[in-house]
Structure 1
């Protein structure tokens, strides 16, 4: 099927421009640089396509040299958008490498006069940029917060298409009768599908990551960087239920900074914030990766240890107490920490009862002089 040249070009330019403007609008709202680079790539690609269509006007150097430079720059910016999304800095040298190489090769008369050579080199450069985009996502797939497989698939298909074109297409993009050649028809259609798909999946990834980060921020204490009460309760109930199902032990540490109000009154809230941040750092640093740590009140912290017995819980509590006591502003006698320890088995693996028992142990530590660790012991029943 032959498609009219003007229809193909106008459709291509329209889609590139429209999607580019939409990405620009999305970037202006959220200021995510991923969308900024993608928008730039799409708009530059629209201009390059327009210039590339200026054939049969005795100015072939303009579409051959400048038009393809812009199209390669568009591909480089699309790769950069994926690179930035993956958490890496943009590389200006790499962005300009492909367009600069094309411009330099066009100075060579043998290359400029050879249509197959131009198609092969241009297609391979396009494939390289698409492959680099796929590589950026693949190498960071384990640390990125969203599913990158749709974007990986799109970039891989785009790369494969241009590799095939490099070896199997040697015709003029535009025939003299105003019709598109068969392979160029596929180029336009593949470009349209790729642009729409890439814009959709990139916007979806950016949105999903933003939502996850907002959710994470809502579950994290901004001062200490560890979880807040809501995050702890949700996760702790699940872990305790799993421990109950598998008959595994668990230990809860409830920590409260002694004389915290006096520290704030004597040295200001900045000193208090420093003390809280330091204790949060110690608590997170001393606990295991699978343990749950959180700040659940003003100067009150909690840590749930799964698959741990009373001895392990008391040992960890003592290490935390001792390390906190060795901090310079604490060692001056301004601050200390009391810790109550309770066993999940004794509380029936119920979070509410476990917190209550740990609170009673904490009260016992305070009553015994503070700066100490106490294990909850149930009072013997009479009769």
Structure 2
């Protein structure tokens, strides 16, 4: 079935215009997110280049070839910036490379009037930008659990298309749409589908990133930035499996700042918050990276890790001593700590045991560490009943 080039031009202009409107509203609705902003500019630049490309049917060559293709390269540059910002990088000067190179080459008649050379350079630039986009997408893999694979497949298909065009499209010297290239219909169709797919993929990527940020925020304590109770229990499953696989005990730690109410009453809640932040700093400095530390609420904290019980006692003693000498804003505070460990017991059970040990530490004068053994299997069965 033959595809009419001019009909495809009209369809592509309509689609790009509609996408531009959608993206403008999405950009403003997302509080002017820079990823969506760069994507919007890319679509508008693409739409302008398509309109300029349609002028070839009237015998114009400079605007479609020089200006139109420069805009195409600028659009790729905007997508490059969008992916860089999404990956947490600053927009670099690379986004201008393709546009400047094309504008420079158009100054040479041997290039400007040779469609095979223009096709070759255009394909090479498109391939370069697409490879850069795939690289940046891979860099963002950690925050894309769902949209990574669709985005990667879309970019790979776009890459394969331009590799194929570079090999099989020799072009011609006409002045019709796209120079009467036999690949004209396929180029317009593929570019339309690519822009549509990439636009909605970027929207999905931004939405997924936002959802992940909201989820992470719901698992963090807003004051201290450490995990909250929900975040603590959300991560314990992997630790329990690791404990069983490596035959190492799962260690639960519970911390409570001594007489914290008196600190709030004497120095004010702002200084109380300062003490909480200081204690988190002390704990995160001492505990190993594989340890999960959280704020349960108020002045109570908890942590767990898979490892040696003696190591846990040593770490807790370091925390207790550092808390004593820390004195943020000359405010003295101490901490009581309860420890429980076991290989075949659930984390909930260990937390109950560590909490019991904590109360023993507070009853025995505070500013101390107590450890309790995890219950035996028979005792555990009774707890479950």
Q: TM-score, normalized by length of structure 1?
A: 0.88
CA 75–238 in structure 1, closer or farther in 2 if over 3 Å, else same: closer
CA 376–195 in structure 1, closer or farther in 2 if over 3 Å, else same: same
Instruction: Report the Cα distance in structure 1 between the residues aligned to 2:98 and 2:240, rounded to whole angstroms.
Output: 56
Deviation of 1:102 (Å): 1.3
Instruction: Report the Cα distance in structure 2 between the residues aligned to 1:350 and 1:177, rounded to whole angstroms.
Output: 70
User: SS of 1:201's equivalent?
Assistant: helix
Instruction: Report the Cα distance in structure 2 between the residues aligned to 1:177 and 1:102, rounded to whole angstroms.
Output: 20
CA 132–42 in structure 1, closer or farther in 2 if over 3 Å, else same: same
User: SS of 2:288's equivalent?
Assistant: coil
User: SS of 2:301's equivalent?
Assistant: strand
- In the other structure, the counterpart of 2:218 is 218
Deviation of 1:9 (Å): 0.4
- In the other structure, the counterpart of 1:326 is 325
RMSD value, Cα: 2.7
Deviation of 1:175 (Å): 6.3
- In the other structure, the counterpart of 1:372 is 368
Instruction: Report the Cα distance in structure 2 between the residues aligned to 1:238 and 1:125, rounded to whole angstroms.
Output: 45
Instruction: Report the Cα distance in structure 2 between the residues aligned to 1:298 and 1:189, rounded to whole angstroms.
Output: 60
Instruction: Report the Cα distance in structure 1 between the residues aligned to 2:133 and 2:154, rounded to whole angstroms.
Output: 10
User: SS of 2:328's equivalent?
Assistant: helix
User: SS of 1:182's equivalent?
Assistant: coil
Aligned pairs for 1:106-145 (under 5 A) are 106-138=106-138, 140-141=139-140, 143-145=142-144
Deviation of 1:317 (Å): 1.0
Aligned pairs for 1:1-383 (under 5 A) are 1-31=1-31, 32-91=33-92, 93-138=93-138, 140-141=139-140, 143-147=142-146, 148-172=148-172, 176=176, 181-236=181-236, 239-240=239-240, 243=243, 248-309=248-309, 311-329=310-328, 332=330, 334-344=332-342, 349-376=345-372
Instruction: Report the Cα distance in structure 1 between the residues aligned to 2:37 and 2:72, rounded to whole angstroms.
Output: 17
Q: Is the 8 A contact 2:256 2:337 kept in 1?
A: yes
Bigger Cα displacement from structure 2, 150-159 vs 177-186: 177-186
Q: Is the 8 A contact 2:239 2:305 kept in 1?
A: no
Listed as ranges, the gaps of 5+ residues in structure 2 are 376-385
Q: TM-score, normalized by length of structure 2?
A: 0.87
Listed as ranges, the gaps of 5+ residues in structure 1 are none
- In the other structure, the counterpart of 2:381 is none
Instruction: Report the Cα distance in structure 2 between the residues aligned to 1:319 and 1:82, rounded to whole angstroms.
Output: 44
User: SS of 2:365's equivalent?
Assistant: coil
Instruction: Report the Cα distance in structure 1 between the residues aligned to 2:292 and 2:128, rounded to whole angstroms.
Output: 45
Instruction: Report the Cα distance in structure 1 between the residues aligned to 2:211 and 2:192, rounded to whole angstroms.
Output: 29
User: SS of 2:184's equivalent?
Assistant: helix
1:340-360, CA deviations, whole angstroms, 9 ceiling, x for partnerless residues?
A: 112336xx7244443332222
CA 61–240 in structure 1, closer or farther in 2 if over 3 Å, else same: closer
Instruction: Report the Cα distance in structure 2 between the residues aligned to 1:378 and 1:5, rounded to whole angstroms.
Output: 76
CA 41–183 in structure 1, closer or farther in 2 if over 3 Å, else same: same
Instruction: Report the Cα distance in structure 1 between the residues aligned to 2:132 and 2:178, rounded to whole angstroms.
Output: 35
Deviation of 1:239 (Å): 3.7
Deviation of 1:238 (Å): 6.1
User: SS of 1:151's equivalent?
Assistant: helix
Q: Is the 8 A contact 1:26 1:35 kept in 2?
A: yes
CA 61–278 in structure 1, closer or farther in 2 if over 3 Å, else same: same
CA 350–131 in structure 1, closer or farther in 2 if over 3 Å, else same: closer
Size of the aligned set, in residue pairs, is 373
Deviation of 1:183 (Å): 0.7
Instruction: Report the Cα distance in structure 1 between the residues aligned to 2:162 and 2:374, rounded to whole angstroms.
Output: 73
CA 179–110 in structure 1, closer or farther in 2 if over 3 Å, else same: closer
Deviation of 1:42 (Å): 1.1
Instruction: Report the Cα distance in structure 1 between the residues aligned to 2:79 and 2:96, rounded to whole angstroms.
Output: 13
Instruction: Report the Cα distance in structure 2 between the residues aligned to 1:286 and 1:245, rounded to whole angstroms.
Output: 26
